[in-house]
């Protein structure tokens, strides 16, 4: 189906539910289309709750003119995924359920949405001092590789690793959720827009001009409240 003939996303999602999961107890439409952030490549993220399903599964397909990602659960399997997201500090499932527009509900979704809200309000598990020190060590290690790098190709990948570690360190030491892909920068921006601007500017400068100074200074500033760079005296598993 041509894009110009696409159904409205909510209408398409409702047709999808009626066609493929008519007996489900609940369904929500989540993702960029319901946040007003859809692009030409956006898909429909649909979460299904069906008591007949024996095990949770995920499926990708194209239907009603849309690429669709469907996440299918019974009335208890979603809890395991909530727990996994809590441990990884990447709350994709609770966020989808909570933000999702209800497509169908026989009276189960209010309680599930409350569970999702409680998890998001609670935040991820707090890092211990031991974890913080371990993260300081690996952040220092990658920072040293970045500072000493002479091969442009290697530097690009080192910079990517350093950026991920810096964002994780800032967010987790401040009790914030992290994310993957576009949710990395979204999570950082939600926490501190001013820092995010400085972070983006520093890495943008490096990628454009190979000037590392702003990235290095920002990384060292991140580490400073926790004792700064860490190498001498660090041990793991001793």
Q: Do 144 and 106 share a structural domain? A: no
CB atoms within 10 A of CB 176: 19
* pTM: predicted TM-score of the whole model, two decimal places: 0.85
Q: Is 118 part of any domain?
A: yes
Q: Is 92 part of any domain?
A: yes
Asked which of 100, 122, 144 is the last residue of a domain, the reply is 122
Q: Do 205 and 134 share a structural domain? A: yes
* HSE (side-chain half, CA atoms, 13 Å) at 103: 30
pLDDT tens-place string over residues 174-228: 999 998 888 899 999 999 999 999 999 999 999 999 999 999 999 999 999 999 9
48, 24 Cβ separation under 8 angstroms: yes
pLDDT tens-place string over residues 44-99: 999 999 999 999 999 999 999 899 999 999 999 999 999 999 999 999 999 999 99
Q: What is the CATH number of the domain that holds 28?
A: 3.30.460.10
Domain of residue 141: give its range.
Answer: 129-226
Q: Is 231 part of any domain?
A: no
């Amino acid at each position: 189906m041509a894009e110009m003939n696409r159904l409205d996303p909510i209408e398409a999602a409702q047709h999808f539910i009626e066609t493929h999961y008519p007996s489900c107890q609940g369904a929500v439409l989540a993702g960029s289309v319901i946040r007003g952030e859809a692009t030409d490549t956006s898909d429909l993220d649909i979460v299904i709750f069906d008591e007949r399903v024996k095990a949770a599964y995920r499926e990708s397909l194209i239907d009603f003119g849309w690429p669709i990602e469907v996440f299918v659960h019974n009335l208890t399997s979603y809890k395991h995924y909530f727990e996994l997201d809590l441990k990884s500090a990447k709350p994709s499932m609770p966020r989808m359920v909570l933000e999702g527009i209800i497509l169908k509900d026989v009276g189960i979704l209010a309680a599930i949405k409350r569970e999702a809200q409680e998890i998001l309000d609670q935040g991820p598990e707090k890092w211990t001092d031991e974890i913080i020190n371990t993260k300081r060590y690996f952040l220092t290690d990658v920072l040293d590789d970045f500072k000493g790098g002479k091969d442009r190709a290697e530097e690009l990948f080192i910079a990517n690793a350093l950026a991920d570690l810096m964002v994780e360190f800032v967010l987790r030491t401040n009790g914030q959720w992290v994310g993957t892909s576009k949710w990395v920068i979204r999570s950082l921006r939600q926490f501190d827009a001013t820092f995010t601007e400085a972070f983006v500017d520093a890495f943008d400068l490096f990628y454009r001009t190979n000037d590392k100074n702003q990235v290095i200074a920002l990384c060292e500033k991140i580490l400073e409240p926790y004792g700064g760079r860490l190498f001498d005296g660090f041990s793991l598993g001793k």
